[in-house]
């Protein structure tokens, strides 16, 4: 399990610096990864593709690329390891709701852990929460249009009945 060998936070931070310097597409190209769809490491208000970043940290720490980068899943393996190094990893789409749903999953996961394991993870956790700015476009719909559509479709509006 190559990702467990990334043993120091500083190598992940160095990979973040490289990611910022190269930009996302060149970083992913350098390490032969595609864009992450679900899991992102949050650091200083920015998000980073989780598995490629961890692989970049591995290469920086050990100076060599691997023939196989199998990880048995980000959620079950890489995410907990990065969290043990004091990073925040989120499963997200592009909305505030996705981030809230991810927090609920992480709290449930934490509640299912043994207390001593949770306390051990807290020792390396950052003292302040990560900050992520979410921009969300919201459409303010015309209430009359909605009411007419509900009326025409035969759907009962529970708010008025």
* Residues 6, 54 contacting (CB under 8 angstroms): yes
More confidently predicted of 19 and 73: 19
**CA–CA distance, 156 with 114 (Å, rounded to integer):** 47
Full-model pTM: 0.69
pLDDT tens for each residue of 104-153: 888 888 888 899 988 888 887 778 887 777 777 777 777 777 788 888 88
Instruction: Report whether 134 contacts 96 (CB < 8 A).
Output: yes
Q: What is the pLDDT of residue 19?
A: 97
Selection from 114, 117, 125 nearest residue 85 by Cα: 125
pLDDT at 156: 61
Give the least confident one: 4-18, 29-43, 111-125. 111-125
Q: Are 88 and 39 within 8 A, CB to CB?
A: no
Q: What is the average per-residue pLDDT within 54-61? A: 94
What is the C-alpha to C-alpha distance for residues 156 and 115, in angstroms, rounded to an integer? 48
- Which pLDDT score is estimated for 28? 95
Does an H or E element contain 110, and which?
A: helix 96-111
């Amino acid at each position: 399990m190559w990702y467990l060998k990334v043993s120091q936070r500083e190598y992940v931070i160095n990979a973040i610096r490289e990611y910022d310097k190269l930009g996302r597409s060149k970083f992913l190209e350098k390490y032969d990864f595609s864009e992450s769809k679900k899991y992102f490491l949050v650091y200083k208000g920015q998000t980073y593709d989780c598995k490629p970043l961890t692989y970049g940290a591995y290469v920086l720490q050990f100076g060599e690329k691997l023939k196989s980068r199998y990880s048995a899943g980000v959620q079950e393996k890489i995410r907990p390891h990065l969290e043990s190094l004091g990073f925040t990893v989120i499963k997200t789409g592009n909305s505030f709701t996705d981030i809230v749903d991810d927090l609920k999953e992480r709290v449930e996961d934490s509640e299912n852990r043994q207390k001593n394991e949770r306390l051990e993870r807290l020792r390396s956790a950052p003292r302040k929460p990560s900050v992520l700015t979410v921009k969300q476009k919201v459409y303010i719909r015309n209430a009359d249009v909605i009411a007419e559509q509900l009326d025409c479709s035969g759907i009962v509006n529970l708010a008025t009945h």
